C-alpha cells in the first residue's frame, strides 16, 4: 500500500518536472531562433578550419550538419557549447548567438552554457562509474542532493532515453558493462538528466550497429518534443530520416596555401535539400556523386 | 584459373601449396633474436638470484643465530653482537610517513596544475622539462640542499639534524618523480571523460575532482609507491642531514623528543655504518640488514603492483 503511494508520488514529481520543462520551452519557443551564427569562423592556431558560417537553429527541431570529413561540421557544433575552449589553440571569430546572447562575449560563463546545451559525443563516453552515478552527476552539480529526488530524475531520464527497462535492475552496476548502443543511450540520458535546452550530437551513431542506430534515431524523434537537437552526421540517409533542417558543409582548397577550409554550402529545409537543392555541390553530395 | 595462386609462389598444385605453407623456410633470424632476448633476461635474473643467495649466505649467522635479537637491537657499529636494526626500521618508517605526508599531496597538486590548468602555457612546458631534469639530479646534491635549507636555514623549525630534516630532504628528492608519474597518469585519462563531465556543466575543478583524479588514482598511486621505495633506499642525502652512523642511543626520550632532537638513522644509513666495519661478524650484520631493506622495498613495490591491478580501468 505504502509502496503504491510512493510510486504515485514519484509519478507526480515526474509530471511536475515535465510540466516545468514544457512551460520553459514554450516561453523560449516562438520563432526566435535558439542559435544564430553570424560569419562564424574557427581557427586552430593560424589555420582557419571553417569560415563564414551563417545558420539559425529553431527550437524543438532537429538540425543536421552533413558533409565530407574535415569540412568543419563538428568544429561548428562544438562552438554551440563552447567545447572548443578545451582545445588550447582554438579561436573563434564572428558570433554565436544563443537566444540573442553572443556565447563568445567576455561575460559569458562557458560552464553555465554547457548546463543548458548538452552534448553527446561520437564515441560513447560513460564515466567509469555506476549507471546511477552517471545520471546523478549532472543533477548533483545543479544542487539536487536528496536521494529521493535523484532517484526520480535517474528513472525519468532513463525512461526518456528508452533505456530504463534494460537497466532498471542493475543501476548500481558499472556503465562500462553496457553495450555500445546502450552506452550511447546512457550518454543521452545523462544529457537529459540536467534538463538542457539543446542537445548537440556529434556523430552519435558512427560507432554503433544499424539496430542501435535505429533505436537512437527513434529516440531523437521522441525527445525532439522537449529539446532542440543539432546532429552532425556522415550518414546522409540519417540526416534525411531524422532532421527538419539540414546544413551542408564542404571543403575548399586555398590555392595559395593548399590548405583546406570548411565552408557552409547550403542550409535549408531537409526535404528541399534532398529533393531540390539550390547548389549543384549539394546535389552532387546528396546523390552520392561526391564525398 | 584467373583466381589461382600467383605463379611466383610456385604453388600450381594443391599438393605443392600444402608443402610450401607447411614446410617452408624457418624464420632463422627471428629465432635467434628470440633466444638472445631470452638470454639477456636470464642474465638479469641470474644477477638478482646471485645477489639474494649471496646475501642469504652471508647473513646466515645472524638470521639463524640471533635474528630476533638483531631486529630488536639498536644501532651499534662497535660490537657486532649488539648490533641491530630496530632504530633503522623505525627511522625508515618515520621518513616514509613524512615523505607521504609532504611530497605526495604537493607533487599531485603540482601535476594537476601542470596537466589540467596550465597545459597550454609556455611556462608550464618549461617547468615540465625542468621537473624532468630535477628527477635526474644526483641524490647527494639534494643532501647538500637539505643541509643548507632544512638543517641550517630552517633549523629553528626542524630542530637541526633531525628526522624531520631528513624526511623533508627525501620529500624534495622524490617530488619530481611524484610530479612526473602523476602527470603521466593524468594525461592517460581520455579527453572524452573530461568532455563528458564538462558537457553536463561541470566546472574544471568539478571535472578534475569527480572524474579525472579518480580515474588517474591507480596510476598516481603506483608512481608514488615507487617514489616511496626510492626514498626508502637513499643513504647519501641522509648522511649529510644528520643520519646517525656508529652508535645511536635514544635513552629515555619520548617519541616526540626522539623525533625532534633525538638523532635518527635509517636502513640504508645503518647498512652503510655496518659495512664500514671489518670482520666476518659485521659482514653478516650488513648482509642481514640489506636483506631486511630488500624485503621492505619489495613489499612497497608489491603493494604498488597490487594497487595497480586492483584498480586498473579499461576504457
- Of B195, B200, B210, nearest to A86 by CB-CB distance is B195
Q: What is the pLDDT of residues B212-235, one digit of tens each?
A: 999 998 889 888 888 999 899 998
Q: B270: distance to nearest CA of chain A, Å?
A: 46
CB distance A230 to A57 below 8 Å:
yes
pLDDT confidence of residue B315:
45
Alpha-carbon distance values, B238 to A39, B95, B197, B244 (Å): 65, 10, 45, 9
Domain that holds residue B160: 67-311
- Of B192, B202, B203, nearest to A121 by CB-CB distance is B192
- Of B200, B215, B313, nearest to A118 by CB-CB distance is B200
Q: Which DSSP symbol is given to A102? A: E
Backbone dihedral region of A43: left (phi > 0), alpha (psi from -120 to 50 degrees) or beta? beta
Q: Does B64 touch chain A (CB under 8 A)?
A: no
Q: Tell if the CB–CB gap between B201 and A114 is shorter than 8 Å.
A: yes
- Residues in chain B within 8 Å Cβ distance of A121: 192, 195-196, 199
Assigned domain for B304 exists? yes
To 10 degrees, the CA torsion angle through A16, A21, A25, A28?
Answer: 100
Assigned domain for B116 exists? yes
What CATH code is carried by the domain that includes residue B201? 1.10.3720.10
Q: Which DSSP symbol is given to A174? A: B
Q: Does B303 touch chain A (CB under 8 A)?
A: no
Chain A / chain B CB contacts < 8 angstroms: 68
Closest-CA residue to A122 (of A222, A249, A232):
A232
Q: A251: distance to nearest CA of chain B, Å?
A: 26
Q: Does B188 touch chain A (CB under 8 A)?
A: no
Evaluate if residue A85 carries a pLDDT over 90: no
- Residues in chain B within 8 Å Cβ distance of A114: 198-201
Stated as kind and residue range, the H or E segment containing A267 is strand A260-269
CB distance B304 to B221 below 8 Å:
yes
Q: Strand locations in chain B, DSSP E? A: none
B contact residues 23-62, partner A, Cβ 8 Å cutoff: none
Which chain B residue's Cα is nearest to A82? B199
Structural domains in chain B (count):
1
Which chain A residue's Cα is nearest to B192? A125
Assigned domain for B4 exists? no
The DSSP-derived string for B224-259 is: HHHHHHHHHT--HHHHHTTB--SB---TT--HHHHH
According to the 3-state scheme, what is the secondary structure of B73-116?
CCCECCCCCCCCCHHHHHHHHHHHHHHHHHHHHHHHHHHHHHHH
β-pairing, A198-202 with A228-232? parallel
Crossing angle for the helix pair B213-232 and B163-187, to the nearest 10 degrees: 140
The tens-digit pLDDT sequence of chain B (315 residues) is: 445 545 555 546 777 777 777 766 678 888 999 999 999 999 999 999 999 999 999 988 888 888 888 888 888 878 878 888 888 888 898 899 999 999 999 999 999 999 988 877 788 889 889 999 999 999 999 999 989 988 888 877 777 788 888 999 999 999 999 999 999 999 999 989 999 999 998 999 999 999 999 999 888 988 888 899 989 999 889 988 877 777 776 655 666 766 666 678 889 998 998 888 888 888 888 999 999 999 989 998 888 888 878 776 554
* DSSP 3-state of B142: helix
Assigned domain for B260 exists? yes
Whole-number Å distance between alpha carbons of B164 and B157:
9
Amino acid at each position: 500500500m505504502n509502496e503504491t503511494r510512493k510510486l504515485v508520488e514519484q509519478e507526480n514529481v515526474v509530471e511536475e518536472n515535465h510540466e516545468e520543462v514544457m512551460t520553459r520551452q514554450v516561453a523560449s519557443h516562438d520563432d526566435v531562433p535558439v542559435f544564430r551564427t553570424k560569419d562564424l569562423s574557427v581557427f586552430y592556431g593560424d589555420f582557419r578550419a571553417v569560415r563564414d558560417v551563417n545558420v539559425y537553429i529553431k527550437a524543438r527541431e532537429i538540425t543536421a550538419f552533413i558533409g565530407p570529413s574535415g569540412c568543419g561540421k563538428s568544429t561548428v557544433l562544438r562552438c554551440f557549447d563552447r567545447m572548443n575552449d578545451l582545445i588550447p589553440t582554438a579561436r573563434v571569430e564572428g558570433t554565436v548567438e544563443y537566444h540573442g546572447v553572443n556565447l563568445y562575449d567576455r561575460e559569458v560563463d562557458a560552464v553555465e552554457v554547457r548546463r543548458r546545451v548538452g552534448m553527446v559525443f561520437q564515441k560513447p563516453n560513460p564515466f567509469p562509474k555506476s549507471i546511477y552515478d552517471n545520471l546523478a552527476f549532472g543533477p548533483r552539480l545543479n544542487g539536487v542532493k536528496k536521494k529521493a529526488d535523484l532517484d526520480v530524475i535517474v528513472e525519468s531520464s532513463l525512461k526518456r532515453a528508452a533505456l530504463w527497462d534494460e537497466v532498471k535492475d542493475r543501476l548500481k552496476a558499472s556503465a562500462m558493462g553496457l553495450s555500445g548502443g546502450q552506452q550511447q543511450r546512457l550518454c543521452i540520458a545523462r544529457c537529459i538528466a540536467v534538463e538542457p535546452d539543446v542537445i548537440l550530437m556529434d556523430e552519435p551513431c558512427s560507432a554503433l550497429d544499424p539496430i542501435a542506430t535505429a533505436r537512437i534515431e527513434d529516440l531523437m524523434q521522441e525527445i525532439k518534443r522537449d529539446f532542440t537537437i543539432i546532429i552532425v552526421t556522415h550518414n546522409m540517409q540519417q540526416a534525411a530520416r531524422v532532421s527538419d533542417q539540414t546544413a551542408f558543409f564542404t571543403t575548399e582548397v586555398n590555392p595559395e596555401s593548399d590548405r583546406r577550409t570548411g565552408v557552409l554550402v547550403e542550409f535549408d529545409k531537409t526535404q528541399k535539400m534532398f529533393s531540390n537543392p539550390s547548389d549543384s555541390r549539394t546535389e552532387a553530395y546528396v546523390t552520392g556523386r561526391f564525398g | 584459373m584467373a583466381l589461382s595462386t600467383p605463379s611466383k609462389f610456385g604453388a600450381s598444385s594443391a599438393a605443392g601449396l600444402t608443402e610450401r605453407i607447411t614446410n617452408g623456410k624457418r624464420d632463422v633470424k627471428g629465432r635467434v633474436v628470440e633466444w638472445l632476448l631470452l638470454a639477456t633476461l636470464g642474465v638479469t635474473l641470474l644477477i638478482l638470484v646471485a645477489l639474494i643467495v649471496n646475501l642469504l649466505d652471508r647473513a646466515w649467522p645472524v638470521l639463524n643465530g640471533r635474528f630476533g635479537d638483531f631486529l630488536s637491537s639498536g644501532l651499534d657499529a662497535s660490537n657486532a653482537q649488539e648490533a641491530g636494526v630496530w632504530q633503522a626500521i623505525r627511522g625508515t618508517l618515520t621518513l616514509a610517513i613524512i615523505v607521504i605526508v609532504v611530497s605526495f599531496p604537493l607533487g599531485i597538486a603540482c601535476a594537476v596544475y601542470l596537466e589540467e590548468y596550465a597545459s597550454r602555457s609556455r611556462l608550464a612546458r618549461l617547468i615540465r622539462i625542468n621537473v624532468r631534469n630535477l628527477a635526474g639530479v644526483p641524490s647527494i646534491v639534494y643532501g647538500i640542499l637539505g643541509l643548507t635549507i632544512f638543517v641550517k636555514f630552517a633549523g629553528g623549525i626542524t630542530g637541526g639534524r633531525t628526522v624531520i630534516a631528513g624526511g623533508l630532504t627525501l620529500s624534495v628528492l622524490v617530488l619530481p618523480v611524484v610530479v612526473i608519474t602523476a602527470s603521466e597518469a593524468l594525461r592517460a585519462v581520455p579527453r572524452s571523460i573530461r568532455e563528458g563531465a564538462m558537457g553536463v556543466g561541470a566546472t574544471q575543478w568539478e571535472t578534475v575532482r569527480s572524474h579525472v583524479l579518480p580515474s588517474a588514482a591507480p596510476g598516481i598511486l603506483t608512481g608514488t609507491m615507487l617514489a616511496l621505495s626510492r626514498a626508502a633506499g637513499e643513504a647519501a642525502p641522509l648522511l649529510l642531514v644528520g643520519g646517525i652512523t656508529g652508535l645511536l642511543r635514544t635513552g629515555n626520550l619520548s617519541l616526540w623528543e626522539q623525533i625532534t632532537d633525538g638523532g635518527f638513522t635509517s636502513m640504508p644509513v645503518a647498512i652503510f655504518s655496518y659495512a664500514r666495519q671489518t670482520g666476518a661478524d659485521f659482514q653478516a650484520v650488513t648482509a642481514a640488514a640489506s636483506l631486511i631493506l630488500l624485503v621492505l622495498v619489495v613489499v612497497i613495490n608489491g603493494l604498488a603492483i597490487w594497487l595497480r591491478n586492483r584498480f586498473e580501468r579499461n576504457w
